[in-house]
Amino acid sequence: MPMRKAGELSDATYRKLAHLMYESIGLSLNASKKPLVSSRLAQRITRLGLDGYEAYFKLIASQEEGGEFQMAVDLLTTNETYFFREAEHFSVLEEELGRTRPESVSIWSAAASFGDESYSIAMLLADMATQGRIGPNWSILGTDISDRVLRSAKTAIYPETRLRHVSLERRRRYCLKGEGDFQGMAKIQDKLTEHVHFGQLNLCRPIEDIGPFDVVFLRNVLIYFDDITKREVVDRVLSRLRVGGLFFIGMAEGRVACDTPLESLSPGAFRKLASKPGSP
């Protein structure tokens, strides 16, 4: 049977779709993104046998809490990530923790994707705990809007290519090599996973009572938001970071405007400062 084609994405449907995505997850889709959106959704519409983009819009608008809406989020954002991405940030973190030698450390990876960032941090903290440079009470919370990536993160199984920046010693220490059907895959060992937890969280909604954290990673997610949303998200996230704590955004994301006072340490790395009396 011939497959039904997705047809044309009309301006009216595109505007409704862009509005829905902006209101629900802060995703900023201007007119220039229309060809990208239409090509990313076309295959899915064909696969579902739907009668074009308007039918697809109606479907996702009716399932905003999950189902096909989650699929659309995955298609319109990118979950790209890998272990020790932007390695300089891990050096800044190691230096800071080595200097302060905290008894406990609590870290939030606020756009965790498949969990590569969370487990990279876990490898560093586990090494430092073994060396007695931090105490044994360390934990990492990874959150994301996408339940698909979170389900994968919880399995802690990765293609070895994503571990390309992990040293051989760390791979030996913290990963199990897959065999048979799992050839070419690696599983993160329990001695790390027991310190790492994952949960779903939309950065564009009020944040429930989590933290306060000593360190927050908010890397490579601000690109999806317009300037107003960026500012709101950054201040909302920073409200969960202790004064003096470290804050990381993607190295290419520049200096974000926000109301929370920050000291810039290096590209994408900041320290939260105390607010001046009388300021918000």
Could you list the residues that contact ligand SAM (CB under 6 A)? 25-26, 77-81, 85, 111, 113, 117, 144-146, 149, 202-204, 219-221, 224
Least CB distance from residue 112 to ligand SAM, whole Å?
A: 6
Q: Is 99 tagged catalytic?
A: no
Token readout for 217 is 């990673």
Choosing from 85, 116, 144, 240, the catalytic residue is 144
Least CB distance from residue 170 to ligand SAM, whole Å?
A: 18
Residue number with the shortest CB distance to ligand SAM? 81
Name which of 50 and 69 has its Cβ closer to ligand SAM: 69
- Using the CB atoms, write b or e for 165-193: b if 16+ within 10 Å: ebeeebbebbbeebeeeeeebbbbeeebb
Q: Is 40 tagged catalytic?
A: yes
Name which of 53 and 224 has its Cβ closer to ligand SAM: 224
Token readout for 115 is 């969990």
Choosing from 40, 44, 173, 231, the catalytic residue is 40
Beta strands in 129-200 (DSSP E): 137-144, 157-159, 175-177, 185-188, 196-200
Beta strands in the chain (DSSP E): 104-109, 137-144, 157-159, 175-177, 185-188, 196-200, 213-218, 241-249, 262-266, 269-272
Name which of 53 and 114 has its Cβ closer to ligand SAM: 114
Please count the CA atoms within 13 angstroms of the CA of 133 that sit on its side-chain side: 14
Name which of 85 and 170 has its Cβ closer to ligand SAM: 85
Report, as residue numbers or ranges, the catalytic residues.
40, 144
